[in-house]
Structure 1
Amino acid sequence: MAADALPVLSDAARALAARCESKAGELGRRITDAALSGPPASADLTPEAKDPRIEAAARHGLRWLIRRAVRGDRGDTRLLRERAAQHADDGLPLHLLLRGQLHGTHALWRSLRAAARPGEEDALIELAGFLLAAQEYLVGAVSETYVDERAALAAEERERDRSLVRALLDGSLPADRFPAARLGLADGALVLALRLPPGDGPVRAPLAVRRELRRVQAALDRTYGTDVPAVLDTGGGHAVVPGHAVPHGTDDDLLARLRHACSPEIRVAAVPAADPGGIAGAARTASEILRVARAGGLAPGLHRLDDVLLEYHLAHRDGSGERIAALLDPITGRPDLVETLRTYLGSRQERRSTARQLGLHPNTVDNRLARITELTGLDLATPHGTALALAALLLRDAAAAG
């Protein structure tokens, strides 16, 4: 209900309300104990911190009610809202704040009833209706401001955590200066690298991107039952899960939630870090696992190092890396052949599975594989030729990414 929708009182009702105008302070002090005595009591606030805040909040609410009743104007709720925001910032529980407001309205009604004179029964009934309507508006204004302020504080805290994690990942914040205990990372973490598939169309609307990232963040938080600091953009990013929040067997749950939030084509890599000092290295390893898994033709999903151990080893350059990568030079200008090779190797050399994934006839796959062998000299029918082809593919992708 809006303040301007409150009923306009008669002269008799306003006169009755005016006789109680000077009692707001006394009523506010009187209701403080009542507001704190009912369950649930606030155990996390000291008695010294309780009384003044609840009393002040009730007193401000009472004054607003009386002024609105006596003067018939809209009344300024700015101070009420400012106080509600301050109480949210101070951590005063909302139930205590609202209880104080409700006790205040009740106390005002008792005061009005006691001040009523014979013949003012109609004015008293009118004021009862006014208080019920005004209480709806007052409680709504206070709770709305309180909730908005708490949401803003939570968003600021999450952004601070995200900035700290970003600085740790990029090396601009040394691990010994990282507040690991506050973020629950003192005993280690599970570092996730995420690769989000591109959306439909050449350019995605910013609003759609923000919604998708919020869904991904929510999926992370729900899976692990805590706020998971994540640094994400349209292509993916990293998340750092506190070690205590990683029960056994959450991989399938995480993947199912992320696929629902984003796309079945999402890729995730998970690498544990024993302490904050290992988080940056774990993030690099996780990113490399994603790259290798994709280059090796593994289906989208959640990958760990053991899933791509051979590919990971082969993908790292040494003195012979350039020569191995050059084996695929003859098909560089044939993306159809490169993709066929990648899919064939990722399908464990199953030609029918390769054909199905590429939308081709199996005979077309056979023709392409034969053409690859003809151009490169790699015999994909032998373990040696397959290993060389895989290594060449991984090394070329590593060079392109690097």
Structure 2
Amino acid sequence: MRIAGRPAAAYLRARVPALARRVLARLRDELPVYAELPVEELTGDIADIVQHNLRLFADVIEHRRPATDAELEQQRDSAAQRAEEGVPLDAILTAYQIGTAMCWQEISAGARAEELAGVQEAVRRIMVLQRQLTAAVSGAYLEARQILDSQEHGGRHALLAALLAGEPVDARPAGPRPAALYVALTLALGAHPDESLSGPGAGIASQRKIRRVRSVLDRFTGAPALTALDSSGGTALLPVGEVPPWPDLCRLVVQAGELAGIAVTAAADVVAPGAVPDAVARNAEIVELVRRTGRGPGLYRLGDVLLDYQLSRPSAALGPLAALLGPLESKPELLHTLRVFLDHGLDRRATAVALHVHPNTVDYRIRRIDRLTGLSPGRAGDLQLIAAALVARTVS
């Protein structure tokens, strides 16, 4: 096959060393990830694979045939090595495309009109080889990444299990190393509307929700979070070097909910590895208390639910406290008014707006509560008892 009056394959083989240097220079200029590779690797492994590809182009043009599996083995090995190094697949495929384009420019320069048939065949051969290279490189890269991801996931899962069990993690022989501190998160995930779909759509929506929440958690520290999540929530440990500001953690929970399109309720504490089991257990109790006391989504810590938490501990006083409001058991409108009145800081007008009643109705109900229970939120001593009794009713 002659192009520009010369044997295309022989011309390309003669130009391989110089053309390979130009390809490498362009990869460094146009692809940042290649510019960051060690010089020894660029002039060694990468240069070798570029020259191998150029010679393979010459072979398929000369012999008018596709590449064999054996001829693509070096590309597969190279792709697997790049996967281990963390080079993105799109950068690798772009590098192959750059090399192919430069190869074609080299052999087609000066092509003559009467050589059209040969040029067209050369284009077909190069396109077939490019397709083969893309398939071989992508397949080898993804296979290597799957193995690496499986190993990394297994190592993270083992570390998570050890941390949750309170086992010593510094002595682990392999796998990811423990962080100095962890943000221990317990998450309660609301249902996404798509999870109510029939058929496989519900499962897809559930996995999408979990994946989006994980992506936000991973971005927070720039390292994969240790997670055990299902559609209803679970546990996440975020590795950190120092205690992050609480507002940042609050925004993290909000962002996770916004990206996943759900309500997220969470509890968090920042602890050393040895304190993870206690923190996770305490966080689970906090989330349950938040849920049972009707608080909204968001991030909570122990200080936000101190009274509720303390009253949820086993105590002989819990039953008698709850019984203080027993006379209101058959008067749900009075019990609800009492809760709303306390939630609105004893503001009768705000309470009336929330209940959609006249402020005088609020006054009337508060007086009835006083008559039935002997307790009035207007008396400082009674107010503390009422607040404790409301909590006791919720947690008992």
Normalising to structure 1: TM-score of the pair? 0.68
The unaligned stretches of length 5 or more in structure 2 are none
Matched, 1:272 2:270: yes
Matched, 1:47 2:40: yes
User: Corresponding residue for 1:258?
Assistant: 256
Matched, 1:288 2:294: no
User: Corresponding residue for 1:387?
Assistant: 384
163-172 vs 278-287, which deviates more?
163-172
User: Corresponding residue for 2:83?
Assistant: 89
The answer to whether the 8 A contact 2:152-2:175 is kept is: no
**Separation (CA, whole Å) in 2 of partners of 1:84 and 1:335:** 72
For the structure 1 residues 127 and 55, does the alpha-carbon distance in structure 2 shift closer, same or farther, using more than 3 Å as the test?
Answer: farther
SS of residue matched to 2:277: helix
**Separation (CA, whole Å) in 2 of partners of 1:384 and 1:377:** 12
**Separation (CA, whole Å) in 2 of partners of 1:331 and 1:28:** 91
SS of residue matched to 2:241: helix
SS of residue matched to 2:281: helix
User: Corresponding residue for 1:214?
Assistant: 211
Per-residue deviation, 1:250: 1.6
For the structure 1 residues 159 and 390, does the alpha-carbon distance in structure 2 shift closer, same or farther, using more than 3 Å as the test?
Answer: farther
Write out per-residue CA displacement over residues 147-182 of structure 1, whole angstroms, 9 at most, x where no aligned residue: 745764675466346524541454174444569994
For the structure 1 residues 200 and 106, does the alpha-carbon distance in structure 2 shift closer, same or farther, using more than 3 Å as the test?
Answer: closer
For the structure 1 residues 199 and 42, does the alpha-carbon distance in structure 2 shift closer, same or farther, using more than 3 Å as the test?
Answer: closer
**Separation (CA, whole Å) in 1 of partners of 2:249 and 2:367:** 39
For the structure 1 residues 166 and 56, does the alpha-carbon distance in structure 2 shift closer, same or farther, using more than 3 Å as the test?
Answer: same
For the structure 1 residues 58 and 237, does the alpha-carbon distance in structure 2 shift closer, same or farther, using more than 3 Å as the test?
Answer: farther
**Separation (CA, whole Å) in 2 of partners of 1:354 and 1:147:** 63
**Separation (CA, whole Å) in 2 of partners of 1:367 and 1:69:** 99
Per-residue deviation, 1:277: 0.7
The unaligned stretches of length 5 or more in structure 1 are 1-10
The answer to whether the 8 A contact 1:189-1:243 is kept is: yes
2:309 is matched by which residue type in structure 1? Y
User: Corresponding residue for 2:232?
Assistant: 235
User: Corresponding residue for 1:8?
Assistant: none
The answer to whether the 8 A contact 2:376-2:382 is kept is: yes
For the structure 1 residues 363 and 218, does the alpha-carbon distance in structure 2 shift closer, same or farther, using more than 3 Å as the test?
Answer: farther
For the structure 1 residues 379 and 143, does the alpha-carbon distance in structure 2 shift closer, same or farther, using more than 3 Å as the test?
Answer: farther
Write out per-residue CA displacement over residues 47-81 of structure 1, whole angstroms, 9 at most, x where no aligned residue: 37973465247536753774488445697698588
385-394 vs 129-138, which deviates more?
129-138
For the structure 1 residues 267 and 100, does the alpha-carbon distance in structure 2 shift closer, same or farther, using more than 3 Å as the test?
Answer: closer
User: Corresponding residue for 2:185?
Assistant: 192
**Separation (CA, whole Å) in 2 of partners of 1:350 and 1:207:** 46
SS of residue matched to 1:270: strand
Q: Between Structure 1 and Structure 2, how many residues are aligned?
A: 381
The answer to whether the 8 A contact 1:297-1:342 is kept is: no
The answer to whether the 8 A contact 1:32-1:100 is kept is: no
**Separation (CA, whole Å) in 2 of partners of 1:362 and 1:177:** 65
**Separation (CA, whole Å) in 2 of partners of 1:57 and 1:358:** 75
The answer to whether the 8 A contact 1:326-1:392 is kept is: yes
User: Corresponding residue for 1:322?
Assistant: 319
1:193 is matched by which residue type in structure 2? T
For the structure 1 residues 317 and 362, does the alpha-carbon distance in structure 2 shift closer, same or farther, using more than 3 Å as the test?
Answer: farther
**Separation (CA, whole Å) in 1 of partners of 2:347 and 2:147:** 54
Per-residue deviation, 1:272: 1.6
**Separation (CA, whole Å) in 1 of partners of 2:54 and 2:294:** 66
For the structure 1 residues 383 and 147, does the alpha-carbon distance in structure 2 shift closer, same or farther, using more than 3 Å as the test?
Answer: farther
The answer to whether the 8 A contact 1:264-1:300 is kept is: no
The answer to whether the 8 A contact 1:54-1:96 is kept is: no
The answer to whether the 8 A contact 1:372-1:378 is kept is: yes
Per-residue deviation, 1:89: 3.5
Normalising to structure 2: TM-score of the pair? 0.69
The correspondence for 2:241, drawn from 224, 241, 244, is 244
Per-residue deviation, 1:20: 5.2
The answer to whether the 8 A contact 1:270-1:302 is kept is: yes
36-45 vs 316-325, which deviates more?
36-45
SS of residue matched to 1:348: coil
Write out per-residue CA displacement over residues 92-123 of structure 1, whole angstroms, 9 at most, x where no aligned residue: 73557754674477458757889x9x998445
SS of residue matched to 2:314: coil
2:343 is matched by which residue type in structure 1? G
**Separation (CA, whole Å) in 2 of partners of 1:326 and 1:185:** 47
SS of residue matched to 2:297: coil
1:208 is matched by which residue type in structure 2? A
Per-residue deviation, 1:276: 0.8
Seq. identity, %: 26
